[in-house]
Structure 1
Amino acid sequence: MTFIAIIVCEVAFWIAILGGLTARYVLRLPRAGACLLAAAPLVDLVLLALVAVDLLGGGTASWHHGLAAIYIGVSVTYGHRMIAWADVRFTHRFAGGAAPERLSGRRYTARCWGDVARTGLAVLIAGGILGALIALVADPERTAELQGTFALLGLVFAIEVLWAISYTLWPRKPAPPRAGPAEPAARP
């Protein structure tokens, strides 16, 4: 049940985001768009409640419960950025906004280190949720599966740090300029 809830919540999250952006830019309904975008964080609360009810109701923790904690941590820390990413693309496509910028060099490296901080926060949130669930259930046999999720969180954070280090040592190069429309060959 938890795995299905995660999938449903992920779909609901993107429906809220894409629906909000569509309402804002395509249908020209900014208030409706704002309401739909505001619904995205509520999806996390619903998932957290479902996981807690499942475990407090006698369920045994599985990797799905750990995945739910990770999903919530990532959604809380990266959700705003995902919405901003989609917003720039919708603005460009439907409202005449500027094309999305591809960062390179020091700016991209700084963003990578910002992601280290964001991922660290996501790890802390997910770890806090896991710790709270383990404490609430208070049955080590039923929550034993969640212990492995802590190691996974450490691995994810370590990969994020290595990613940032790699772009510190070897900065991302600027994208080659885009070719404009082909000009007709000059006639002699």
Structure 2
Amino acid sequence: MNEQPSGVRGDPAPRDEAWFDALFTDHARAVHAYLARRAGRQDAEDLAADVFATAWRRRADVPEGHELPWLYRTAGFVLANHRRKQQPVPVEEVDDSDTSAEDPATVAIEDDAVSAALQTLSPRDRRILLLHAWEGLDGSELAEALGISRGGAAAALSRARSRLEAVWAERAGGHS
């Protein structure tokens, strides 16, 4: 019997620590950056640990060849749970230091014009555009991260792009 895990659900061969170590080595930085852009650097490490703990517990469900999109999807769930638990922070306790300069994606998203345009879109459109533009997902990876078919992901990305273009043109005075 083949001792290598095939990544197919129902495969009786368990994924071992070496598989997990490789998963972590290959994707920890991307998952951390994804979470840091959405939850802040102060929470990203703990949230990333939760994502990888889930990956270990559900290792049989992680699709071979689509590990990163699966991790992004899981990170989305972990982030949603985190946001539901958050307590308000008094304004005087908010850190005013600028930590965004090292990540161009963070700098772009904090640009007032880009941020304003993205905020007019639905949360789903924003998520699709950010997964594509900032996380580099396309095709089957985007579909896996969204939990939909590849065709559905392509259509959703196309619609989100069109809506963003329309908003951008309107804000730039390009409408009549």
* Structure-2-length-normalised TM-score: 0.31
Name the one with the larger helix percent: 1
Instruction: Work out which of the two has the higher radius of gyration on C-alpha atoms and give 1 or 2.
Output: 1
* Structure-1-length-normalised TM-score: 0.30
Higher relative contact order (CA closer than 8 Å, sequence separation 6+): 1
